[in-house]
Amino acid sequence: MKKSVYAVSAFALCVAGAVHAEPQAEVLHYWTSGGEAKSVAVLQEEFAANGGTWTDMPVAGGGGDAAGTALRARVLSGNAPTAAQIKGPAIQEWYEEGVLADISAVAEENGWADVLPASIASHMQCEGTWCAAPVNVHRVDWIWANADVLAANDITMPTTWEEFNAAAEKLQAAGIIPLAHGGQAWQDATVFEAVALGLLGPDGFRKAFVELDQDALTSDEMIAVFDQMRVLRGYVDPNFPGRDWNLATAMVMNGEAAFQVMGDWAKGEFLAAGKTPGEDFLCASTPGEGFLYNVDSFAMFDVDGDDKKAGQALLAELIVGTKFQEVFNLNKGSIPARVDVALDAFDSCAVLSAEDMNASSEGGSLLPSYAHGMALRGAQSGAITDVVTSHFNSDMSSEEAVQQLASAVLNSL
């Protein structure tokens, strides 16, 4: 396996005599919604405040599929960006292509190993070197709700899918859209994995979507997951196909819909609109035990030029710095990746997320999100999502879905 051959660090630049390098970075990312843009602006501003020149390369499209396509085109044409939003096993895939920069010197100078949980640090390392900088911890398995709509209909946040379905029936009868949803494959996958965690349990989820165990993929419990997805399909409005996730969040915000099942980047939209958790909107984990984590990160590419290498060193240092970890995550809806950032300024949803993450970590139910690229490499996660979205958008039976799921996974290996 090829290893990237150059290290990025202030020390390396000094030795190279490039002490006067002016940090530059072209950064490819997909944070273009209201809350996302406000969050990434924190990094841009901090980078500039430290003498950096940031060239923004936003690629719209929630979930990052479009950004991944754009990144591959850039790298294959020999024109890689300085840095890109890459996470999970995709980091290893890019490393294996031999195109990533080694940021170990920055990580070691700043003691990342001492302040990052092992589960996060492991995603950021490539054959013992540091190859990405973690930004946050998003939780995927959340239900968001309009507080007034629930109160007006005498509904409390559901703790089981049966309770959710009963609430949805009541809301639908009252003429309210029960579930705000965007009909994009990654959003179908997001809802699916939240349901799967609850109905399969943490061990069942791990067997199915981390270990790709064929029996788990075709179990009666997996059939029940698709059954529940069919029920949820009946609670979305006719205009859901193609809707962007943040527009679904807006439907909950304005009371047009009651619930959204989405990661806590949705909280970033509520906060950007000036909404208050516990008053305007409610948050609760989706029914069942466990915590699906989604850690955003940036990887640096093997580019030429001392200014770009200085830009990479500065970016990596800022991203894992305590100031950015607090300010960015306050806006993004996530919690800091660092364990030593106080949550005093964070809201009740963030505190709940941190508490549940710690409890899940201790209880063995802290799991990588499959839908958001943390559990599997692209071929496998894509194969699963293709079946999930095909089922959600057709009248495919649950029995057929699990058979297609098992064979799609086998064919992707």
Q: Which is nearer to ligand GAL, 46 or 264 (CB)?
A: 264
Give the DSSP letter of residue 53: E
> Minimum CB separation from ligand GAL for residue 408, in Å?
21
Instruction: Report the nearest approach of ligand GAL to the CB of residue 265 (Å).
Output: 4
Asked if residue 206 binds ligand GAL (CB under 6 A), the reply is no
When CB distances to ligand GAL are compared, the closest residue is 62
**Contact track, ligand GAL, 364-393, x by CB under 6 A:** --------x---------------------
Q: Does 328 bind ligand GAL (CB under 6 A)?
A: no
206 alpha carbon, distance to own chain's centre: 18
User: In this complex, which beta carbon is closest to ligand GAL, that of residue 296 or of residue 317?
Assistant: 296
Return the closest-CA partner of residue 182 out of 360, 392, 32: 392
- From residue 240 to residue 259, the character string flagging contacts with ligand GAL as x (rule: CB under 6 A) and all else as - is -----x--------------
Does residue 280 sit in helix, strand or coil?
A: coil
- Binder of ligand GAL out of 26, 296, 326, 356 (CB under 6 A): 296
Of the residues 125, 187, 294, 360, which one makes contact with ligand GAL according to CB under 6 A: 294
- 3-class secondary structure, 40: helix
Assess contact for 259 and 145: CB atoms under 8 A: yes
Whether 241 contacts 187, CB under 8 Å: no
Is the Cβ–Cβ distance between 199 and 228 less than 8 Å? yes
Single-letter code of the amino acid located at 28: L
> Residue 283: which residues within 8 A CB-CB, separation 6 or more?
142, 143, 144, 145, 264, 267, 277, 348, 349, 352
- Pick out residues in 56-75 that bind ligand GAL (CB under 6 A): 62-64
CB 389 to ligand GAL: min, Å? 16
Smallest separation (angstroms) from ligand GAL to the CB of 30:
6
193 belongs to the binding site for ligand GAL (CB under 6 A): no
First to last CA, the chain: 19
Helix (H, G, I), strand (E, B) or coil at 104: helix
Report the interface residues with ligand GAL, using CB under 6 A: 30-31, 36, 62-64, 138, 245, 265, 294, 296, 372
